[in-house]
């Protein structure tokens, strides 16, 4: 099988004043294309930190990370942004929806950065909302949706670009 994610001895250290927090201590993982993987552990065990590193939102303090056979640490900020937009779909624990944007606009947001025109964005976003059974709420803003509906908007946004990787931080916690 094709390896999509491979880390070796990933460590993440945060310095908070005189305190040192070892958020990750030598994590090595190998994930093949098509695999479903869950990172489980108690609060504060480093799950979100690992997800942020795997999602190219943060960098490890040490260790190596290969994504689709590319060394992530050698990528420029622009390359990382492109990878995040086209290859990785994120479902954040707190949804990260824009409060003044409609469900349709929130789902279409990654498509703006991917270069789609407005008509294509709206069509693709509406299809993604249909897939999570929210097409009838496409014009609602996040504060007009239940927690489960906001979660499904976040899932639709993560899937709209058809990414090769979906990263979800407690993805079913608010589903109805």
Residue from 120, 114, 72 nearest 89 by CA? 114
Measured CA distances, 60 to 7, 22, 95, 111 (Å): 10, 11, 24, 28
- Segments in 11-142 forming alpha helices (H): 47-54, 77-86, 103-113, 118-131
| pLDDT at residue 95 in the model | 85
| pLDDT at residue 154 in the model | 94
Categorize the per-residue pLDDT at 23 as very low, low, confident or very high, splitting at 50, 70 and 90.
very high
Residue from 81, 67, 77, 84 nearest 157 by CA? 84
Pairing verdict, β 62-67 and 3-16: antiparallel
For 141, the enclosing helix (H) or strand (E) is: none
Q: Which domains does the chain have, with CATH numbers?
A: 3-75 (3.40.50.300), 91-168 (no CATH)
Cβ–Cβ under 8 Å, residues 84 and 56: yes
pTM for the model stands at 0.83
Residue 175 above 90 pLDDT? no
Residue 176 above 70 pLDDT? no
Q: List, for residues 57-112, the tens digit of each pLDDT value.
A: 999 999 999 998 899 988 999 999 989 988 899 888 778 899 999 999 999 999 99
Cα–Cα distance measured from residue 152 to residue 11, given in angstroms and rounded to the nearest whole number = 32
Average pLDDT for residues 129-149, to the nearest whole number?
96
- Mean pLDDT, the chain, integer: 92
Cβ–Cβ under 8 Å, residues 51 and 58: no
Residue 172 above 70 pLDDT? no
Cα–Cα distance measured from residue 122 to residue 107, given in angstroms and rounded to the nearest whole number = 9
């Amino acid at each position: 099988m094709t390896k999509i994610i491979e880390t070796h001895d990933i460590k993440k250290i945060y310095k908070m004043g005189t305190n040192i927090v070892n958020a990750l201590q030598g994590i090595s993982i190998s994930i093949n294309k098509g695999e479903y993987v869950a990172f489980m552990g108690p609060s504060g065990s480093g799950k979100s930190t690992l997800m942020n590193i795997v999602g190219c939102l943060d960098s490890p303090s040490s260790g190596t990370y290969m994504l689709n056979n590319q060394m992530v640490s050698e990528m420029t900020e622009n390359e990382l942004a492109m990878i995040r937009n086209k290859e990785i779909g994120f479902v954040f624990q707190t949804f990260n929806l824009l409060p003044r944007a409609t469900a349709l606009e929130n789902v279409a947001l990654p498509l703006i950065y991917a270069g789609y025109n407005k008509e294509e964005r709206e069509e693709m976003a509406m299809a993604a909302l249909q897939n999570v059974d929210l097409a009838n709420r496409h014009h609602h803003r996040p504060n007009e949706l239940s927690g489960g509906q906001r979660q499904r908007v976040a899932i639709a946004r993560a899937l709209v670009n058809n990414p090769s990787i979906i990263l979800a931080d407690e993805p079913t916690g608010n589903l109805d």
